[in-house]
Structure 1
Amino acid sequence: MFNAPAPIDIDVSDQEMQLFQQLFRQHVGLHLPDSKKALLHSRLAGRMNELRLGSLGEYHALIARPSATAERQRAIDLITTNETYFFREQRHFDFLKEQLLPTLGIVSHLKVWSAASSSGEEAYSLAMLLGEQRRQAAWSVFASDISQRVLSFGRRGLYPMARGQNIPEAYLKRYCLCGTGKYEGHFLIAPELRRKVQFEQRNLMDLSQDADQQYDIIFLRNVIIYFDFETKVEVIRAVTRKLKQGGHLIVGHSESLHGMPLDLQMLSPSIYWKSR
Protein backbone atom coordinates (compact mmCIF):
# COMPACT_ATOMS: atom_id res chain seq x y z
CA MET A 1 0.00 0.00 0.00
CA PHE A 2 1.17 3.48 -0.83
CA ASN A 3 -0.10 6.60 0.86
CA ALA A 4 -1.55 9.28 -1.43
CA PRO A 5 0.67 12.36 -1.70
CA ALA A 6 -0.31 15.20 0.58
CA PRO A 7 -2.17 18.00 -1.21
CA ILE A 8 0.00 20.93 -2.21
CA ASP A 9 -1.00 24.22 -0.63
CA ILE A 10 -1.14 26.88 -3.34
CA ASP A 11 -1.20 30.58 -2.55
CA VAL A 12 -1.69 32.93 -5.51
CA SER A 13 0.67 35.91 -5.45
CA ASP A 14 0.02 39.10 -7.41
CA GLN A 15 2.94 38.28 -9.70
CA GLU A 16 1.64 34.77 -10.42
CA MET A 17 -1.84 36.14 -11.10
CA GLN A 18 -0.39 38.59 -13.63
CA LEU A 19 1.46 35.78 -15.40
CA PHE A 20 -1.74 33.77 -15.87
CA GLN A 21 -3.74 36.85 -16.83
CA GLN A 22 -1.25 37.56 -19.62
CA LEU A 23 -1.12 33.95 -20.77
CA PHE A 24 -4.89 33.44 -20.99
CA ARG A 25 -5.42 36.79 -22.67
CA GLN A 26 -2.69 36.05 -25.21
CA HIS A 27 -3.98 32.60 -26.16
CA VAL A 28 -7.78 32.85 -25.84
CA GLY A 29 -8.56 36.50 -25.10
CA LEU A 30 -9.87 35.63 -21.64
CA HIS A 31 -10.02 38.52 -19.17
CA LEU A 32 -9.19 37.07 -15.74
CA PRO A 33 -9.70 39.83 -13.14
CA ASP A 34 -7.71 40.00 -9.91
CA SER A 35 -10.85 38.95 -8.03
CA LYS A 36 -10.56 35.46 -9.60
CA LYS A 37 -7.52 34.37 -7.59
CA ALA A 38 -9.60 31.81 -5.70
CA LEU A 39 -10.98 30.43 -8.98
CA LEU A 40 -7.47 30.12 -10.43
CA HIS A 41 -6.38 28.28 -7.29
CA SER A 42 -9.35 25.89 -7.19
CA ARG A 43 -9.32 25.05 -10.91
CA LEU A 44 -5.57 24.34 -11.18
CA ALA A 45 -4.75 22.85 -7.76
CA GLY A 46 -5.75 19.29 -8.66
CA ARG A 47 -3.66 19.23 -11.82
CA MET A 48 -0.66 20.69 -10.01
CA ASN A 49 -0.95 17.96 -7.39
CA GLU A 50 -0.90 15.36 -10.15
CA LEU A 51 2.29 16.90 -11.58
CA ARG A 52 3.86 17.35 -8.12
CA LEU A 53 4.40 21.06 -8.70
CA GLY A 54 4.72 23.28 -5.64
CA SER A 55 3.75 26.68 -7.02
CA LEU A 56 1.69 28.35 -9.69
CA GLY A 57 4.89 29.90 -10.99
CA GLU A 58 6.23 26.41 -11.78
CA TYR A 59 3.01 25.47 -13.56
CA HIS A 60 3.03 28.71 -15.57
CA ALA A 61 6.64 28.06 -16.63
CA LEU A 62 5.52 24.63 -17.85
CA ILE A 63 2.51 25.71 -19.90
CA ALA A 64 4.13 28.90 -21.25
CA ARG A 65 6.66 26.88 -23.25
CA PRO A 66 5.82 26.92 -26.99
CA SER A 67 6.01 23.12 -27.09
CA ALA A 68 3.54 22.65 -24.19
CA THR A 69 0.45 22.79 -26.41
CA ALA A 70 -1.36 19.86 -24.81
CA GLU A 71 -0.81 20.93 -21.18
CA ARG A 72 -1.65 24.55 -22.00
CA GLN A 73 -4.90 23.36 -23.57
CA ARG A 74 -5.62 21.36 -20.43
CA ALA A 75 -5.16 24.50 -18.30
CA ILE A 76 -7.48 26.44 -20.62
CA ASP A 77 -10.08 23.68 -20.28
CA LEU A 78 -9.83 23.86 -16.50
CA ILE A 79 -10.21 27.63 -16.34
CA THR A 80 -12.94 28.23 -18.91
CA THR A 81 -16.57 27.94 -17.84
CA ASN A 82 -18.82 25.65 -19.89
CA GLU A 83 -22.27 26.10 -18.37
CA THR A 84 -24.98 25.32 -20.91
CA TYR A 85 -28.23 23.44 -21.42
CA PHE A 86 -30.70 22.60 -24.18
CA PHE A 87 -32.82 25.49 -25.49
CA ARG A 88 -31.15 27.99 -23.19
CA GLU A 89 -32.67 31.47 -23.60
CA GLN A 90 -35.78 30.14 -25.30
CA ARG A 91 -36.73 33.49 -26.84
CA HIS A 92 -33.90 33.16 -29.34
CA PHE A 93 -35.28 29.87 -30.60
CA ASP A 94 -38.77 31.37 -30.73
CA PHE A 95 -37.37 34.19 -32.88
CA LEU A 96 -35.80 31.71 -35.27
CA LYS A 97 -38.94 29.58 -35.54
CA GLU A 98 -41.54 32.32 -35.75
CA GLN A 99 -39.78 35.19 -37.51
CA LEU A 100 -36.48 34.32 -39.15
CA LEU A 101 -36.66 30.79 -40.57
CA PRO A 102 -39.94 31.41 -42.47
CA THR A 103 -38.11 34.13 -44.45
CA LEU A 104 -35.15 31.88 -45.35
CA GLY A 105 -36.94 29.27 -47.41
CA ILE A 106 -35.17 30.45 -50.56
CA VAL A 107 -31.74 29.69 -49.07
CA SER A 108 -30.64 26.45 -50.72
CA HIS A 109 -28.30 25.39 -47.89
CA LEU A 110 -28.76 27.22 -44.60
CA LYS A 111 -25.55 27.39 -42.58
CA VAL A 112 -25.58 28.12 -38.83
CA TRP A 113 -22.55 28.54 -36.56
CA SER A 114 -22.70 27.86 -32.83
CA ALA A 115 -19.48 29.74 -32.03
CA ALA A 116 -19.19 28.86 -28.33
CA SER A 117 -20.89 25.49 -28.39
CA SER A 118 -19.46 24.01 -25.18
CA SER A 119 -20.63 20.38 -24.87
CA GLY A 120 -23.09 20.63 -27.74
CA GLU A 121 -26.46 21.43 -26.20
CA GLU A 122 -26.84 24.70 -28.12
CA ALA A 123 -25.76 23.16 -31.42
CA TYR A 124 -28.16 20.23 -31.08
CA SER A 125 -30.98 22.55 -30.01
CA LEU A 126 -30.44 24.45 -33.26
CA ALA A 127 -30.25 21.18 -35.19
CA MET A 128 -33.56 19.95 -33.75
CA LEU A 129 -35.26 23.21 -34.69
CA LEU A 130 -33.80 23.17 -38.20
CA GLY A 131 -34.70 19.52 -38.61
CA GLU A 132 -38.32 20.38 -37.92
CA GLN A 133 -38.54 23.64 -39.84
CA ARG A 134 -36.46 22.65 -42.89
CA ARG A 135 -37.39 19.03 -43.49
CA GLN A 136 -37.25 19.45 -47.26
CA ALA A 137 -34.32 21.88 -47.43
CA ALA A 138 -30.58 21.53 -46.78
CA TRP A 139 -29.00 22.85 -43.60
CA SER A 140 -25.96 22.30 -41.40
CA VAL A 141 -24.61 23.43 -38.04
CA PHE A 142 -20.96 24.16 -37.36
CA ALA A 143 -20.16 23.95 -33.63
CA SER A 144 -16.90 25.32 -32.25
CA ASP A 145 -15.27 25.86 -28.88
CA ILE A 146 -11.80 26.50 -27.50
CA SER A 147 -12.03 23.43 -25.26
CA GLN A 148 -11.23 20.04 -26.78
CA ARG A 149 -12.69 18.35 -23.71
CA VAL A 150 -16.22 19.71 -24.17
CA LEU A 151 -16.07 19.21 -27.93
CA SER A 152 -15.53 15.49 -27.37
CA PHE A 153 -18.79 15.40 -25.36
CA GLY A 154 -20.58 17.21 -28.16
CA ARG A 155 -19.37 14.81 -30.84
CA ARG A 156 -20.57 11.87 -28.78
CA GLY A 157 -24.03 13.40 -28.28
CA LEU A 158 -24.77 11.40 -25.11
CA TYR A 159 -26.41 13.26 -22.20
CA PRO A 160 -27.96 12.45 -18.81
CA MET A 161 -31.75 12.31 -19.08
CA ALA A 162 -32.09 15.22 -16.66
CA ARG A 163 -30.32 17.49 -19.17
CA GLY A 164 -33.21 17.06 -21.60
CA GLN A 165 -35.89 18.68 -19.45
CA ASN A 166 -36.13 21.77 -21.71
CA ILE A 167 -36.33 19.82 -24.96
CA PRO A 168 -39.87 19.91 -26.41
CA GLU A 169 -41.64 16.56 -26.18
CA ALA A 170 -41.95 16.19 -29.94
CA TYR A 171 -38.21 16.76 -30.37
CA LEU A 172 -37.39 14.24 -27.64
CA LYS A 173 -39.39 11.56 -29.42
CA ARG A 174 -38.01 12.34 -32.88
CA TYR A 175 -34.36 13.15 -32.20
CA CYS A 176 -33.36 11.53 -28.88
CA LEU A 177 -32.78 7.82 -28.30
CA CYS A 178 -33.40 6.52 -24.79
CA GLY A 179 -30.45 4.61 -23.36
CA THR A 180 -30.67 1.05 -22.05
CA GLY A 181 -28.32 -1.18 -20.08
CA LYS A 182 -25.19 0.72 -19.08
CA TYR A 183 -26.63 3.82 -20.78
CA GLU A 184 -29.85 3.76 -18.77
CA GLY A 185 -30.69 7.25 -17.54
CA HIS A 186 -29.11 8.84 -20.62
CA PHE A 187 -30.24 9.76 -24.10
CA LEU A 188 -28.33 9.83 -27.38
CA ILE A 189 -28.88 12.40 -30.12
CA ALA A 190 -30.17 10.52 -33.18
CA PRO A 191 -27.48 9.73 -35.80
CA GLU A 192 -29.28 11.58 -38.61
CA LEU A 193 -29.05 14.77 -36.53
CA ARG A 194 -25.45 14.22 -35.39
CA ARG A 195 -24.37 13.84 -39.02
CA LYS A 196 -25.45 17.43 -39.72
CA VAL A 197 -23.52 18.96 -36.80
CA GLN A 198 -19.76 19.33 -37.18
CA PHE A 199 -17.67 19.95 -34.04
CA GLU A 200 -14.25 21.57 -34.40
CA GLN A 201 -11.90 23.52 -32.14
CA ARG A 202 -11.71 27.21 -32.92
CA ASN A 203 -10.04 30.10 -31.10
CA LEU A 204 -12.19 33.21 -31.55
CA MET A 205 -8.99 35.26 -31.43
CA ASP A 206 -7.75 33.56 -34.63
CA LEU A 207 -10.29 32.51 -37.26
CA SER A 208 -7.87 32.68 -40.19
CA GLN A 209 -8.34 29.01 -41.06
CA ASP A 210 -11.98 29.68 -41.98
CA ALA A 211 -11.28 32.70 -44.15
CA ASP A 212 -13.81 31.82 -46.85
CA GLN A 213 -16.58 30.37 -44.69
CA GLN A 214 -19.83 32.32 -44.47
CA TYR A 215 -22.93 31.71 -42.34
CA ASP A 216 -26.56 32.79 -42.44
CA ILE A 217 -26.94 32.76 -38.63
CA ILE A 218 -24.29 32.91 -35.91
CA PHE A 219 -24.92 32.22 -32.23
CA LEU A 220 -22.22 33.81 -30.06
CA ARG A 221 -23.91 33.61 -26.71
CA ASN A 222 -22.55 33.98 -23.18
CA VAL A 223 -18.90 34.18 -24.15
CA ILE A 224 -17.96 37.83 -24.77
CA ILE A 225 -18.78 38.60 -21.13
CA TYR A 226 -15.39 37.01 -20.36
CA PHE A 227 -13.47 39.51 -22.56
CA ASP A 228 -12.45 43.09 -21.90
CA PHE A 229 -13.98 45.75 -24.17
CA GLU A 230 -11.09 45.85 -26.64
CA THR A 231 -11.12 42.07 -27.05
CA LYS A 232 -14.91 42.01 -27.36
CA VAL A 233 -14.74 44.39 -30.33
CA GLU A 234 -11.93 42.36 -31.92
CA VAL A 235 -13.84 39.08 -31.54
CA ILE A 236 -17.19 40.45 -32.74
CA ARG A 237 -15.55 41.95 -35.82
CA ALA A 238 -13.79 38.67 -36.61
CA VAL A 239 -16.99 36.67 -36.13
CA THR A 240 -19.21 39.00 -38.16
CA ARG A 241 -16.78 38.77 -41.07
CA LYS A 242 -18.11 35.19 -41.31
CA LEU A 243 -21.69 36.45 -41.45
CA LYS A 244 -23.37 36.76 -44.84
CA GLN A 245 -24.86 40.08 -45.86
CA GLY A 246 -28.37 40.02 -44.43
CA GLY A 247 -27.33 37.44 -41.86
CA HIS A 248 -28.13 37.48 -38.13
CA LEU A 249 -25.86 37.48 -35.08
CA ILE A 250 -27.36 36.40 -31.76
CA VAL A 251 -25.61 37.08 -28.45
CA GLY A 252 -26.64 36.28 -24.88
CA HIS A 253 -29.44 38.20 -23.18
CA SER A 254 -26.96 39.50 -20.59
CA GLU A 255 -24.52 40.72 -23.25
CA SER A 256 -24.52 44.03 -25.09
CA LEU A 257 -22.75 45.39 -28.16
CA HIS A 258 -23.62 48.96 -27.16
CA GLY A 259 -20.89 51.44 -28.00
CA MET A 260 -19.02 49.08 -30.31
CA PRO A 261 -18.10 50.38 -33.80
CA LEU A 262 -19.73 47.53 -35.77
CA ASP A 263 -21.58 47.21 -39.07
CA LEU A 264 -24.63 45.69 -37.38
CA GLN A 265 -28.17 46.86 -36.79
CA MET A 266 -29.89 45.89 -33.54
CA LEU A 267 -33.26 44.19 -33.97
CA SER A 268 -33.57 43.55 -30.23
CA PRO A 269 -31.04 43.88 -27.37
CA SER A 270 -29.47 40.49 -28.24
CA ILE A 271 -30.31 40.03 -31.94
CA TYR A 272 -28.40 41.86 -34.66
CA TRP A 273 -28.62 42.08 -38.45
CA LYS A 274 -25.74 42.57 -40.88
CA SER A 275 -27.19 44.98 -43.41
CA ARG A 276 -24.01 45.42 -45.49
Structure 2
Amino acid sequence: MAGTAPAPPPVSNEEMRLFQQLFYQQIGMHLPESKRALLSSRLSRRLVALGLPNFRAYHDLIAAPGEREERQRAIDLITTNETFFFREIGHFAFLSQKVLPSFSRTDTLRIWSAASSTGEEAYSIAMLLDNERHDAPWEIVGSDISQRVLDSARQGVYPMVRGENIPPADLKKHCLRGTGQYEGQFLVGKHLRQRVEFTQMNLTALPARLKPFDVVFLRNVIIYFDAPTKARVLANVTHFVKPGGYLLVGHSESLHGIQLPLQMISPSVYRKL
Protein backbone atom coordinates (compact mmCIF):
# COMPACT_ATOMS: atom_id res chain seq x y z
CA MET A 1 0.00 0.00 0.00
CA ALA A 2 1.38 3.41 -0.94
CA GLY A 3 2.13 5.67 1.99
CA THR A 4 0.53 9.06 2.49
CA ALA A 5 2.60 11.91 1.01
CA PRO A 6 4.45 13.80 3.76
CA ALA A 7 3.13 17.23 4.65
CA PRO A 8 5.25 20.18 3.49
CA PRO A 9 7.54 21.75 6.11
CA PRO A 10 6.39 24.96 7.84
CA VAL A 11 6.67 28.29 6.02
CA SER A 12 10.00 29.83 7.01
CA ASN A 13 10.50 33.55 7.66
CA GLU A 14 12.34 33.92 4.36
CA GLU A 15 9.62 32.08 2.44
CA MET A 16 6.93 34.23 4.05
CA ARG A 17 8.80 37.36 2.99
CA LEU A 18 9.08 36.09 -0.59
CA PHE A 19 5.34 35.35 -0.84
CA GLN A 20 4.52 38.73 0.69
CA GLN A 21 6.61 40.44 -1.99
CA LEU A 22 5.18 38.32 -4.80
CA PHE A 23 1.50 38.85 -3.95
CA TYR A 24 2.11 42.55 -3.37
CA GLN A 25 3.82 42.91 -6.76
CA GLN A 26 1.19 40.87 -8.60
CA ILE A 27 -2.09 42.10 -7.11
CA GLY A 28 -1.20 44.74 -4.51
CA MET A 29 -2.30 42.44 -1.70
CA HIS A 30 -0.86 43.09 1.74
CA LEU A 31 -0.25 39.66 3.32
CA PRO A 32 0.47 40.25 7.02
CA GLU A 33 2.44 37.90 9.23
CA SER A 34 -0.83 36.83 10.84
CA LYS A 35 -1.77 35.11 7.55
CA ARG A 36 1.18 32.68 7.64
CA ALA A 37 -1.02 29.75 8.70
CA LEU A 38 -3.58 30.62 6.01
CA LEU A 39 -0.88 30.70 3.35
CA SER A 40 0.48 27.34 4.51
CA SER A 41 -2.92 25.63 4.58
CA ARG A 42 -4.05 26.96 1.19
CA LEU A 43 -0.85 26.44 -0.78
CA SER A 44 0.39 23.20 0.77
CA ARG A 45 -1.94 21.14 -1.45
CA ARG A 46 -0.16 22.50 -4.52
CA LEU A 47 3.25 21.54 -3.12
CA VAL A 48 1.99 18.01 -2.57
CA ALA A 49 0.34 17.82 -6.01
CA LEU A 50 3.49 19.05 -7.76
CA GLY A 51 5.90 17.00 -5.64
CA LEU A 52 7.80 20.06 -4.41
CA PRO A 53 9.92 19.80 -1.25
CA ASN A 54 9.19 23.20 0.32
CA PHE A 55 7.46 26.56 -0.08
CA ARG A 56 10.59 28.18 -1.52
CA ALA A 57 10.44 25.78 -4.47
CA TYR A 58 6.77 26.66 -5.04
CA HIS A 59 7.51 30.37 -4.81
CA ASP A 60 10.29 30.07 -7.38
CA LEU A 61 7.93 28.17 -9.67
CA ILE A 62 5.08 30.69 -9.62
CA ALA A 63 7.48 33.65 -9.80
CA ALA A 64 8.83 32.39 -13.14
CA PRO A 65 7.55 34.42 -16.14
CA GLY A 66 6.25 31.35 -17.97
CA GLU A 67 4.17 30.02 -15.06
CA ARG A 68 1.17 32.32 -15.42
CA GLU A 69 -1.38 29.53 -15.02
CA GLU A 70 0.08 28.21 -11.76
CA ARG A 71 0.60 31.75 -10.50
CA GLN A 72 -3.09 32.47 -11.11
CA ARG A 73 -3.96 29.25 -9.29
CA ALA A 74 -1.97 30.46 -6.27
CA ILE A 75 -3.71 33.85 -6.38
CA ASP A 76 -7.08 32.08 -6.51
CA LEU A 77 -6.17 30.02 -3.45
CA ILE A 78 -4.79 32.85 -1.34
CA THR A 79 -7.43 35.53 -1.96
CA THR A 80 -10.36 35.48 0.45
CA ASN A 81 -13.77 35.62 -1.21
CA GLU A 82 -16.58 36.15 1.28
CA THR A 83 -19.85 37.66 0.14
CA PHE A 84 -23.59 37.09 0.09
CA PHE A 85 -26.72 38.40 -1.63
CA PHE A 86 -27.91 41.92 -0.71
CA ARG A 87 -24.98 42.46 1.65
CA GLU A 88 -25.16 45.86 3.39
CA ILE A 89 -28.76 46.39 2.35
CA GLY A 90 -28.57 50.17 2.87
CA HIS A 91 -26.60 50.52 -0.35
CA PHE A 92 -29.36 48.83 -2.32
CA ALA A 93 -31.92 51.12 -0.70
CA PHE A 94 -29.78 54.11 -1.73
CA LEU A 95 -29.59 52.80 -5.30
CA SER A 96 -33.35 52.26 -5.40
CA GLN A 97 -34.49 55.45 -3.67
CA LYS A 98 -31.86 58.03 -4.65
CA VAL A 99 -30.04 56.97 -7.82
CA LEU A 100 -32.63 55.28 -10.01
CA PRO A 101 -35.38 57.94 -9.72
CA SER A 102 -32.94 60.64 -10.83
CA PHE A 103 -31.47 58.71 -13.74
CA SER A 104 -32.82 59.07 -17.28
CA ARG A 105 -34.77 56.02 -18.47
CA THR A 106 -33.47 56.56 -22.00
CA ASP A 107 -29.77 56.48 -21.08
CA THR A 108 -27.96 53.21 -20.34
CA LEU A 109 -27.22 52.91 -16.62
CA ARG A 110 -23.80 51.29 -16.11
CA ILE A 111 -22.88 49.71 -12.77
CA TRP A 112 -19.61 48.04 -11.82
CA SER A 113 -19.25 45.43 -9.09
CA ALA A 114 -15.48 45.91 -8.79
CA ALA A 115 -14.77 43.06 -6.37
CA SER A 116 -17.55 40.73 -7.41
CA SER A 117 -16.17 37.47 -5.99
CA THR A 118 -18.62 34.65 -6.79
CA GLY A 119 -21.24 37.05 -8.18
CA GLU A 120 -23.74 37.56 -5.37
CA GLU A 121 -23.31 41.34 -5.37
CA ALA A 122 -23.64 41.71 -9.14
CA TYR A 123 -26.74 39.50 -9.28
CA SER A 124 -28.31 41.38 -6.36
CA ILE A 125 -27.90 44.60 -8.34
CA ALA A 126 -29.31 42.87 -11.43
CA MET A 127 -32.42 41.76 -9.53
CA LEU A 128 -33.03 45.32 -8.36
CA LEU A 129 -32.53 46.80 -11.84
CA ASP A 130 -34.72 44.21 -13.51
CA ASN A 131 -37.45 45.05 -11.01
CA GLU A 132 -37.18 48.83 -11.28
CA ARG A 133 -35.73 49.45 -14.77
CA HIS A 134 -37.18 46.52 -16.65
CA ASP A 135 -38.13 48.74 -19.60
CA ALA A 136 -34.95 50.87 -19.49
CA PRO A 137 -31.39 49.98 -20.60
CA TRP A 138 -28.75 48.93 -18.06
CA GLU A 139 -25.44 47.11 -17.94
CA ILE A 140 -23.57 45.43 -15.08
CA VAL A 141 -19.90 44.46 -15.09
CA GLY A 142 -18.54 42.23 -12.33
CA SER A 143 -14.77 41.93 -11.92
CA ASP A 144 -12.34 40.09 -9.68
CA ILE A 145 -8.67 39.10 -9.63
CA SER A 146 -9.59 35.43 -9.17
CA GLN A 147 -10.52 33.49 -12.29
CA ARG A 148 -11.88 30.69 -10.11
CA VAL A 149 -14.57 32.83 -8.50
CA LEU A 150 -15.44 34.44 -11.84
CA ASP A 151 -16.07 31.00 -13.36
CA SER A 152 -18.38 30.27 -10.43
CA ALA A 153 -20.15 33.62 -10.86
CA ARG A 154 -20.85 32.95 -14.53
CA GLN A 155 -22.52 29.65 -13.64
CA GLY A 156 -24.82 31.40 -11.15
CA VAL A 157 -25.44 28.27 -9.04
CA TYR A 158 -25.57 28.69 -5.23
CA PRO A 159 -26.52 26.64 -2.16
CA MET A 160 -30.03 27.54 -0.95
CA VAL A 161 -28.57 28.82 2.32
CA ARG A 162 -26.76 31.56 0.36
CA GLY A 163 -30.13 32.91 -0.76
CA GLU A 164 -31.45 33.65 2.73
CA ASN A 165 -31.14 37.42 2.24
CA ILE A 166 -32.91 37.44 -1.13
CA PRO A 167 -36.47 38.73 -0.71
CA PRO A 168 -38.87 35.79 -1.29
CA ALA A 169 -40.51 37.54 -4.24
CA ASP A 170 -37.14 38.04 -5.93
CA LEU A 171 -36.08 34.48 -5.21
CA LYS A 172 -39.26 33.25 -6.92
CA LYS A 173 -39.01 35.70 -9.81
CA HIS A 174 -35.30 35.55 -10.59
CA CYS A 175 -34.09 32.11 -9.48
CA LEU A 176 -34.79 28.44 -10.19
CA ARG A 177 -34.84 25.88 -7.38
CA GLY A 178 -32.63 22.86 -8.08
CA THR A 179 -33.99 19.32 -8.22
CA GLY A 180 -32.35 15.90 -8.45
CA GLN A 181 -28.57 16.25 -8.29
CA TYR A 182 -29.04 20.01 -7.78
CA GLU A 183 -31.28 19.56 -4.73
CA GLY A 184 -30.46 22.20 -2.12
CA GLN A 185 -29.20 24.67 -4.71
CA PHE A 186 -30.68 27.43 -6.85
CA LEU A 187 -29.77 28.91 -10.22
CA VAL A 188 -29.91 32.61 -11.05
CA GLY A 189 -32.25 32.97 -14.00
CA LYS A 190 -30.85 33.16 -17.52
CA HIS A 191 -32.53 36.54 -18.01
CA LEU A 192 -30.10 37.96 -15.42
CA ARG A 193 -27.04 35.85 -16.19
CA GLN A 194 -27.12 37.12 -19.78
CA ARG A 195 -27.17 40.74 -18.59
CA VAL A 196 -24.12 40.57 -16.29
CA GLU A 197 -20.61 40.49 -17.77
CA PHE A 198 -17.92 38.95 -15.55
CA THR A 199 -14.31 39.75 -16.41
CA GLN A 200 -10.94 39.48 -14.70
CA MET A 201 -9.38 42.76 -13.58
CA ASN A 202 -6.52 43.78 -11.35
CA LEU A 203 -7.59 46.91 -9.45
CA THR A 204 -3.98 48.08 -9.19
CA ALA A 205 -3.65 48.20 -13.00
CA LEU A 206 -7.03 48.72 -14.67
CA PRO A 207 -7.31 48.53 -18.48
CA ALA A 208 -7.48 51.89 -20.25
CA ARG A 209 -10.27 50.51 -22.50
CA LEU A 210 -12.69 50.38 -19.57
CA LYS A 211 -15.72 52.60 -20.14
CA PRO A 212 -16.89 54.84 -17.24
CA PHE A 213 -19.69 53.86 -14.88
CA ASP A 214 -22.57 55.65 -13.19
CA VAL A 215 -22.25 53.60 -9.99
CA VAL A 216 -19.32 51.56 -8.69
CA PHE A 217 -19.53 49.10 -5.81
CA LEU A 218 -16.02 48.79 -4.31
CA ARG A 219 -16.96 47.14 -1.06
CA ASN A 220 -14.95 45.17 1.48
CA VAL A 221 -11.79 44.97 -0.62
CA ILE A 222 -9.57 47.98 0.14
CA ILE A 223 -9.15 46.67 3.69
CA TYR A 224 -6.77 44.07 2.18
CA PHE A 225 -4.35 46.73 0.85
CA ASP A 226 -1.70 48.76 2.62
CA ALA A 227 -2.08 52.56 2.60
CA PRO A 228 -0.17 53.33 -0.66
CA THR A 229 -1.93 50.55 -2.59
CA LYS A 230 -5.30 51.53 -1.14
CA ALA A 231 -4.78 55.10 -2.40
CA ARG A 232 -3.72 53.84 -5.84
CA VAL A 233 -6.69 51.48 -6.17
CA LEU A 234 -9.14 54.19 -5.12
CA ALA A 235 -7.62 56.63 -7.62
CA ASN A 236 -7.75 53.99 -10.38
CA VAL A 237 -11.37 53.10 -9.70
CA THR A 238 -12.53 56.69 -9.20
CA HIS A 239 -11.10 57.55 -12.63
CA PHE A 240 -13.80 55.33 -14.14
CA VAL A 241 -16.71 56.87 -12.20
CA LYS A 242 -18.60 59.39 -14.30
CA PRO A 243 -18.82 62.95 -12.95
CA GLY A 244 -21.93 62.98 -10.77
CA GLY A 245 -21.72 59.20 -10.42
CA TYR A 246 -21.38 57.28 -7.16
CA LEU A 247 -18.71 55.19 -5.45
CA LEU A 248 -19.89 52.84 -2.70
CA VAL A 249 -17.41 51.30 -0.24
CA GLY A 250 -17.92 48.94 2.66
CA HIS A 251 -19.41 50.30 5.88
CA SER A 252 -16.20 49.42 7.74
CA GLU A 253 -13.93 51.12 5.18
CA SER A 254 -12.70 54.70 5.28
CA LEU A 255 -11.36 57.09 2.65
CA HIS A 256 -10.07 59.45 5.33
CA GLY A 257 -6.86 61.22 4.34
CA ILE A 258 -6.99 60.20 0.67
CA GLN A 259 -7.30 63.08 -1.79
CA LEU A 260 -9.92 62.20 -4.39
CA PRO A 261 -12.49 64.21 -6.40
CA LEU A 262 -15.31 62.81 -4.25
CA GLN A 263 -17.99 64.32 -2.02
CA MET A 264 -19.15 62.18 0.90
CA ILE A 265 -22.90 61.63 0.85
CA SER A 266 -22.79 59.24 3.82
CA PRO A 267 -19.84 57.43 5.49
CA SER A 268 -19.81 54.75 2.75
CA VAL A 269 -21.35 56.59 -0.23
CA TYR A 270 -19.43 59.15 -2.29
CA ARG A 271 -20.33 61.24 -5.32
CA LYS A 272 -17.76 62.18 -7.92
CA LEU A 273 -17.34 65.90 -8.45
When normalised by structure 2's length, the TM-score is 0.97
Q: Given residue 172 of structure 1, which amino acid in structure 2 is its aligned partner?
A: L
State the distance in 1 between where 2:139 and 2:168 align: 23
> Residue 235 of structure 2 aligns with which residue?
237
Q: Given residue 101 of structure 2, which amino acid in structure 1 is its aligned partner?
A: P
State the distance in 2 between where 1:106 and 1:140 align: 13
Contact 2:113 2:143 survives alignment (8 Å): yes
State the distance in 1 between where 2:16 and 2:190 align: 44
Q: Given residue 212 of structure 2, which amino acid in structure 1 is its aligned partner?
A: Q
Q: Given residue 169 of structure 2, which amino acid in structure 1 is its aligned partner?
A: A
Contact 2:105 2:136 survives alignment (8 Å): no
State the distance in 1 between where 2:22 and 2:78 align: 12
Matched, 1:254 2:255: no
Q: Give, in angstroms, the shift of residue 51 of structure 1.
A: 1.1
Change (3 A) 1:38 1:202: same
State the distance in 1 between where 2:46 and 2:8 align: 13
Greater Cα offset, 143-152 or 181-190: 181-190
Residues 43-192 of structure 1: pairs in structure 2 closer than 5 A = 43-106=42-105, 108-192=107-191
State the distance in 1 between where 2:101 and 2:34 align: 46
Change (3 A) 1:4 1:74: farther
State the distance in 1 between where 2:208 and 2:71 align: 21
State the distance in 1 between where 2:198 and 2:3 align: 38
Matched, 1:34 2:33: yes
> Residue 266 of structure 2 aligns with which residue?
268
Q: Structure 1, residues 80-99: CA drift from partner, whole Å, max 9, x if none?
A: 00001000111111111122
Alignment partner of 1:214 out of 212, 215, 226: 212
When normalised by structure 1's length, the TM-score is 0.96
Which residues of structure 2 form unaligned runs of 5+? none
1:240 alignment partner, SS class: helix
Q: Given residue 234 of structure 2, which amino acid in structure 1 is its aligned partner?
A: I
Greater Cα offset, 214-223 or 39-48: 39-48
State the distance in 2 between where 1:163 and 1:216 align: 28
Q: Give, in angstroms, the shift of residue 102 of structure 1.
A: 1.1
1:273 alignment partner, SS class: strand
State the distance in 2 between where 1:186 and 1:209 align: 38
State the distance in 2 between where 1:20 and 1:175 align: 42
Contact 1:225 1:255 survives alignment (8 Å): yes
When the two chains are superposed, the root-mean-square deviation of aligned CA atoms in Å is: 1.1
State the distance in 2 between where 1:246 and 1:106 align: 17
Contact 2:143 2:150 survives alignment (8 Å): yes
Q: Give, in angstroms, the shift of residue 106 of structure 1.
A: 4.4
Contact 1:10 1:41 survives alignment (8 Å): no
Q: How many correspondences in the alignment?
A: 273
Q: Given residue 237 of structure 2, which amino acid in structure 1 is its aligned partner?
A: V
